[in-house]
Amino acid sequence: MSNETVQAVRGMNDILPDEARLWLWFEEVVRDWLAGYGYRNIRMPLVEPTALFKRAIGEVTDIVEKEMYSFEDALNGDHLTLRPEGTASCVRAVLQHNLLYNAPQRLYYSGPMFRHERPQKGRYRQFHQVGVEALGFAGPDMDAEQILMCARLWQKLGLSDVTLQLNTLGDLDARHRHRSKLIAHFEQNLDLLDEDAKRRLHSNPLRILDSKNPAMQELIDAAPKLMDELDEDALLHFAALQEILKRHGVSYEINPRLVRGLDYYNRTVFEWVTTRLGAQGTVCAGGRYDGLVSQIGGKPAPAMGFAMGVERLLVLLTEGGMKLSEPDVDVYVVHQGEMAGILASRVAEQLRDADLRVILHCGGGSFKSQMKKADASGARFSVVIGDDEALSNEVSIKPMKGGDQVKVGVQDMLAAINTFIKQE
Ligand code: ATP
Ligand code: MG
């Protein structure tokens, strides 16, 4: 490599400290919110056997066909993939450790996911999700729980313009019947299909319905509807969910075209969408996946989950004008001279004992240049110690946003700071 600086991989972002503050805040809100519903944290590896995703997500999906970072481990020949989503890993972990043996599970995870997509606003190659999964729950009460959870989070975050789209995909038999009718419908109109659609005709015809190609919209609109094939159980399940949502005043739109890009979904699927992010308008998506546990080799167990795109939610928040006003630092300790330095580090520790966030100036320099750094740190107060103060075991406290400096004995320092804080 020459003198050129090394750049991050395209589509994989650094999150710098000013922005990371917002992430920390968001993660805290999310943790509290999930705790409020009894969901427990689970942490899986970022890398899994490639076969897991092929089996769970489906061979003929965008993710598996063209978005996965898969590689062969040069040291032992294993076929591995950077996780493109969390559900498959989560279910694998639950089965591997037999977590469903005693009780159903409410779980969540968060962290980076990897998909080789064309980077653009709201679409990255490393992005972050918060994923929520409930395993061992069959009824529509769980579908409702998860949707109500989301509604509460939007409220907590102050997001008023995300709307709920809902659909049901029914169960396996209905989907098979619908699939055959779909294939027949598209086969009768082969000349109207684009390349993508032709390729998917026999492998994943449902995905054709998801096509954005305007030339095919009429054909898609005229396609046989899954709704007409649904079994009574699935219809009752869907009706019961809607009943609960109505009771809680959650509005939604039924979107029969909502099919989701992963094969494992059945019955309820949903997306929370905003118009503020252009084509990347889905901030949260999920649904029921009653077949996945057995598909990955477990004893059959119904399940339901969703994932939120953290980057998209944070863009909504910042573009909505959200700012964190809390400073990162409470006190900046300025000092000059050898004795002052000794007192300064003792004072800094005392302040931290009282749970204040303290930067002890490092690297010397004039009082003036140190005060500039104190200012730039955003600290609320500076504590100034020169040799005079050190001799008399005193400190000067200066509120950074204006106000008179006071000189107090070290033993009175905390009380003086607390008085200032009360006046803020
Ligand atoms: P899209 O239709 O936007 O490609 P998707 O259906 O592929 O989304 P899911 O697999 O359902 O997305 O993932 C859940 C959420 O994760 C999405 O709703 C979105 O908010 C976010 N997400 C998915 N892919 C990306 C990406 N490449 N960059 C940023 N966020 C993403
Ligand atoms: Mg996608």
Q: How far apart are CA 182 and CA 170, in angstroms?
A: 15
For atom 8 of ligand 1, which residue has the closest CA?
282
* CA neighbours closer than 13 Å in the CB half-sphere of residue 231: 12
Indicate if the pLDDT at residue 376 is higher than 70: yes
Q: How far is the CA of 75 from the centre of ligand 1 (A)?
A: 32
Q: Is 263 touching ligand 1 by the criterion CB < 6 Å?
A: no
- How far is the centre of ligand 2, averaged over its atoms, from the C-alpha of 208 (Å)? 15
Query: What was the pLDDT predicted at 2?
Result: 63
For range 52-62, the mean pLDDT: 91
- The two tokens of residue 66 are 């063209």
Q: Which residue owns the Cα nearest ligand 1 atom 6? A: 261
Evaluate: CB of 64 within 6 angstroms of ligand 1. Answer: no
* CA-281 nearest atom, ligand 1: 3
Strands 126-135 and 163-168: unpaired
What is the average pLDDT value for the chain, to the nearest integer?
94
Q: Following DSSP, what letter does each residue of 231-243 receive, concatenated?
A: -HHHHHHHHHHHH
Q: What angle do CA 264, 266, 268 make, to 5 degrees?
A: 125
Q: What does pTM read for this prediction?
A: 0.91
Ligand 1 atom 9 nearest Cα:
285
pLDDT digits (tens, 9 = 90+) for 279-291: 889 999 999 999 9
Instruction: Using the atom order of ligand 1, give the atom closest to the CA of residue 124.
Output: 28
Amino acid code (one letter) for 182: L
Tell me the average pLDDT across 18-40.
96
Element (H, E) at 333: strand 331-335
Beta strands 105-114 and 126-135: pairing type?
antiparallel
Q: What percent of the chain has pLDDT over 90?
A: 83
Please check the confidence at residue 1 and state whether its pLDDT lies above 60. no
Pocket residue to mutate for ligand 1, from 10, 274, 280, 313, most atoms within 8 A of Cβ: 280
Ligand 1 centroid, distance to 309 Cα (angstroms)? 6
Q: What is the mean pLDDT of residues 20-45?
A: 97
Six-digit token pair at 56? Answer: 């769970």
Is pLDDT of 89 > 80?
Answer: yes
Q: Which ligand is nearest to the CA of 11?
A: 1
Half-sphere exposure of 331 toward its Cβ, with a 13 Å CA cutoff?
32
Q: Which ligand is nearest to the CA of 57?
A: 1
* Ligand 2: centre distance to CA 211 (Å): 13
Cα(379) to centroid(ligand 1), Å: 38
Ligand 1 contacts CB of residue 124 (under 6 A): yes
- DSSP class of residue 83 equals -
**pLDDT confidence tier of residue 75, bands split at 50, 70 and 90:** very high
Report the atom number in ligand 1 closest to the C-alpha of 63: 7
> Mean of the pLDDT values across residues 362-371?
96
Q: Which ligand is nearest to the CA of 125?
A: 1
Proximal ligand: closest to the CA of 120: 1
Is the distance from CB of 80 to CB of 47 less than 8 angstroms? yes
Kindly state if the Cβ of 204 falls inside 6 Å of ligand 1.
Answer: no
Q: How far is CA 31 from the centre of its chain?
A: 11
* Whether pLDDT at 386 is above 90: yes
If pLDDT is split at 50, 70 and 90, which confidence band does 277 have? confident
- N- to C-terminal Cα distance for the chain? 53
**SS3 at position 34:** helix
Q: What percent of the chain clears pLDDT 70, i.e. is strictly above it?
A: 100
Rounded CA-CA distance 55/264 in Å is 9
Q: What is the pLDDT of residues 391-412, one digit of tens each?
A: 999 999 999 988 889 999 999 9
With 80 as the cut, is the pLDDT of residue 263 above it?
Answer: no
- Residue 61 Cβ < 6 Å to ligand 1: no
Cα(64) to centroid of ligand 1, in Å?
Answer: 14
Q: Which residues contact 322 (CB under 8 A, 6 or more apart)?
A: 22, 158
pLDDT of 60 reads: 82
119 within ligand 1 shell (Cβ under 6 A): no
Task: Tell me the pLDDT tens digit for each residue of 131-174.
Answer: 999 999 999 999 999 999 999 999 999 998 999 999 999 998 89
> What's the rounded Cα separation, in Å, for the pair 56 and 50?
10
The set of residues, in sequence order, having a beta carbon less than 8 Å from that of 226 and lying 6+ positions away, is 169, 170, 174, 175, 178, 256
Which residues of 136-229 form beta strands (DSSP E)?
A: 163-168
pLDDT value of position 70: 98
**Residue closest by Cα to atom 22 of ligand 1:** 309
**Pocket flag, ligand 1, residue 309 (CB < 6 Å):** yes
Q: What is the pLDDT of residues 197-247, one digit of tens each?
A: 999 899 888 889 878 899 999 999 999 988 899 999 999 999 999 999 999
List the domains of the chain with CATH numbers.
17-171+230-319 (3.30.930.10), 331-423 (3.40.50.800)
Query: Which range is least confidently modeled, 208-217, 308-317, 370-379?
Result: 208-217
Residues 6+ apart with CB under 8 A from 250: 147, 148, 151, 164
